[in-house]
Amino acid sequence: MNKKGMTLIEVLAALALLSALLIPIFLLISFSSKTVYRSTNDILAASVALERIEELRSLPYFKLENILLGLDENMTQRPPSSKVLYGPFESYQEQPDIIQPNCYNAGNVVFQCFTYLSYFPEPNPNPNDPKFLEKRKRIRARLRIFWKDRLSSSVYIDQDLSFDTLIHDENYNPKPLLDSFSDGGN
């Protein structure tokens, strides 16, 4: 007798083989969706930071300096020399100069933006230094973006992205070092 059909063992073996093939595929899909979610948040954070940097770079230098010095940022000109502070401009524990608690919302992800301003290359130039005013012609702006990535329905992980840029006074035009361009003494 030739019976056509499948036995229970053949069906179970086929299901075991099928599940052994499908489980890794489902895990791969789950992993890739989490990776896309986290990458999207990284890209959004970078975009928020770069947009904020461009906003800072578009401000007149004296407005940035007023924010750094704790003066009124809405002043339309440089403060009078009697109002200019002679340091220290930064404390040891650096504090943000501009805080934007909800600078961008992307669904259930909220981005926080903190901007730190300091003079560059010295955060606290010495007022007795002959180059004191020159050392106050460049400001370092550091932006830190914080957000929480959701790993599961109840697990979140803190994320942090930081960008730095230099902004210089519109009238600052340092001369290049001639020694660095010499031809080796010829």
How far is 29 from 32, CA to CA, in rounded Å?
5
**Which pLDDT score is estimated for 66?**
87
Asked whether residue 51 is assigned to any structural domain, the reply reads: yes
Express each pLDDT in 40-83 by its tens digit: 889 999 999 999 999 999 999 888 988 888 887 777 777 666 66
Name the domain count of the chain. 1
Express each pLDDT in 5-17 by its tens digit: 678 888 888 888 8
pLDDT of residue 20 exceeding 90: no
**Domain limits at 152?**
10-178
Asked whether residue 49 is assigned to any structural domain, the reply reads: yes
Asked whether residue 4 is assigned to any structural domain, the reply reads: no
**Which pLDDT score is estimated for 1?**
56
∠176-178-179 over CA atoms, to 5°?
125
Q: CB–CB of 97/67 below 8 Å?
A: yes
**Which pLDDT score is estimated for 31?**
79
Asked whether residue 1 is assigned to any structural domain, the reply reads: no
Q: Which of 112, 113, 130, 123 is nearest to 68 (CA)?
A: 123
